[in-house]
Chain A
Amino acid sequence: MMILSPWRADFPAIAALQRQDQTYLDNAATTQKPQALLDALAHYYANGAANVHRAQHLPGAHATQAFEDSRLKVGQWLNAGDSGQIIFTHGATSALNLLAYGLEHVFNPGDEIVISALEHHANLLPWQQLAQRRNLKLVILPLDSDGLIDLAAALRLITPRTRLLAVSQLSNVLGAWQPLPALLAMAKAQNALTVVDGAQGVVHGRHDVQALGCDFYVFSSHKLYGPDGLGVLFGRNAALEQLRPWQFGGEMVLDANYHDARFRPAPLGFEAGTPPIASVIGLGATLDYLSGLDQDAVSAHEAALHDCLLRGLVARDGIRLLGKPQLALASFVVEGVHNADLAHLLTEQGIAVRAGHHCAMPLLKRFELAGAIRVSLALYNDSEDLERFFAALDQALELLR
């Protein structure tokens, strides 16, 4: 059955990649960009760049207006309402580091930080290093056999000692929604702060941070068809009061003397230095584009593609899936075949997939694997992309076996 993407032509790079005989299936790493974003970037740079929140001149006013419009659009995208603030960072990794440094003062030796076994290094290492700095205990929630955080274990491990829970919404390796409502409820019952890493989750469907009820929600623009160098941190008002500035510099300050200073509240107090202005404006254009799509149609398209991917993989001998992928991606290994060899031969055939540990080394070690191949989908992919992938996979396996 043909699965065509009505949005494919909105992403000019897909046609360009096709002319280079490349089939792009590494969307969980980064995505191609819609024409609307390219136009917004060109418009901003062609019509007068200026710094934001500083100058009284007209170009500065225009840039600031466009910049703040994007902040509103991000807030609307997450349905933040008046519940909190949108802070722009230089990436999801920066946002998580901001939290790990800016919340450091709330921890006392012996307190516990709870994360899960499937976290990306970006939602593991900042907490691991904070635990080492402050002599805290880092507690790892185990997974069940389907690759979901084990709720029975979580109930035991989230305790009055838990000061913060930081978990992924959707695993970048296992492609499964994590049971966030139950986990967040457990953490809140212990008065712990809650951080959701939405880097993968935000790309699929719409999410409502008020309904979710987390204190902080983090994502990166470039995985959501936006520009790179930009991350988003949503913080709930009450939680933001506990967050201290982490990086210091221009425009985040209210009043500065040589020996002391006072800082702005959120969001500007956490946006030291010149922000990625063009990227923020570009993300606004991407969100306008995405808001104009029929979300149900996008979800149905992605589900149909994912189903096609899974059926193709399980139909082949010796393929072992990691976990039980529900959407967006599938990671797998092939019995008796080194993933580096398979990656080599897929690359030779113009198939852009990811091989290796996917920035989740401890998770791969739990599966006792050195690496795996990951195929990840986006709304512009179609069934022909998957057919090319499967033809290349068959060819590679024929050579290797």
Chain B
Amino acid sequence: MSGASGLVIGPILLPLLAGAGMLLLNGERHRWIVAGLNVGATFALVGIAAILLEISDTGTRDVYRLGNWPAPFGIVLVLDRLSALMLLLTNILALASIVYSLARWHRAGAHFHSLFQFLLMGLNGAFLTGDLFNLFVFFELLLAASYGLLLHGSGLARVKAGLHYIVVNLAASLLFLIGVSLIYGVTGTLNMADLAARVPAVAAESRGLLEAGAGVLAVAFLLKAGMWPLNFWLPTAYAAASPPVASIFAILTKVGVYIVLRLSLLLFGESAGASAGFGREFLLFAGLATILFGAVGTLASQDTARLGGFSVLISSGTVLAATGMGQVGVTSGALFYLVSSTLGIGAFFLLVELIERGREPGADMIAVTREAYGEEVETDEAEADVGIAIVATMAWLGVAFIGCALVIAGLPPLSGFIAKFALLAAALHPTDQPGGAIPGSGWALLAVLILSGFATLVAMARAGIRIFWASPDRTVPRVRVIEMAPIIFLLFICAAQTVWAGPVIRFMQAAAHSLHAPAGYISDVLDNGPSSRQAEGK
């Protein structure tokens, strides 16, 4: 264990302490202290995640054993390249949405900042944990916080969408428990590394039960990832959420995607004996169906926020289908795509409210929200102290809209294009096929990705024309620097990902290689090291 292993638990402890501390400071007088704490804690989390990313890139896995219990018995936190990447992505997105919320949304309900920190704690924990049941606990934590955040701002539309969201997720959690207990019943362990080591040795008569358990577990994750046909709740819920919340929710689907990616490669990789490649074909076809469903949805949506919701589906579907391909190159392209599309969609959800502000329906909704919460509509003087309105508003909004559209649709010059290019280039140059023959799945992925990119482009162009060109009676919205800056920040990261595409791709390839070789993960986690052996010995 390196000296930094204490830092691994930081992304879980810091939001816990910050969130709990903020609960004590509730009330109107402390609002700005709480907001400052939230921004500070999230900023620190971004820093921690960046340090962890750098540590993980040395190729060592940092295994933190809680209470120093040896691995298969105690709970472990495992930091590798993939989890460090997801941590950084989560916290960057979180920072952007918190800063955005300071302009007005954090006043629309109680405990916004605490819930936000608890959501981050759940997310970070889910990315770091190396234990299935612990994963369930972190999942519930982030879901409980997300129920609160989805309802933030109240109003009939949010309560209606929230009701469906909560029922669907509670049912999925029960499926999660059934899957976990089936797997435990067969293998007798919940530690992911220990599980991966035991899967090849499972007796033939129990194998059906194990695979049934894994299948039930996968349904729970795929529901959260928004896979077709389990995703009808998603666009409605995301469109109903307040903009900063919708923006951070863009990462919630990625938790499901992350777990599917990790577990399918860890438990059912090449070395899994008779179960190798379990569920891979299903993931491929279901992923392709999700992309198509999302593409049709983007074309059909009248509302800009729903357009964002369907883009989320396309993004999850792409990564799921790429996981189903089961090739190292495709996985690394998919990771690149995951980062850029999440940032792009996050920025888009923030932007939606700003561009809708000049149009009547959006303004109506905010007024209704305030009324329902019993808060008076604030005057402009009261809002002016938050920040100054920016100049040339429409130009900024238009540029940001084009940026989001380019990233989400995957057009050059921004990162969405490079991501899709890397993904497809790997899918069309399979390394495991003799003679370099392109498998049918590669062609299918190519066709569906190009089609969905085109559909997104058409939908985005239509929305852009309607908003910026074809509405003569619109008023220019008042947009503050503090609202525009997070969007520019997210798009700037996408641009940086384009400029430094070489190093980023190299990192993604290293992450994909270690994902496809689970033996290293297993030995790193199960090798308890000298310090714990000593503690255990006498």
Q: Do A and B come from one complex?
A: no
**Chain A residues within CB distance 8 Å of chain B:** none
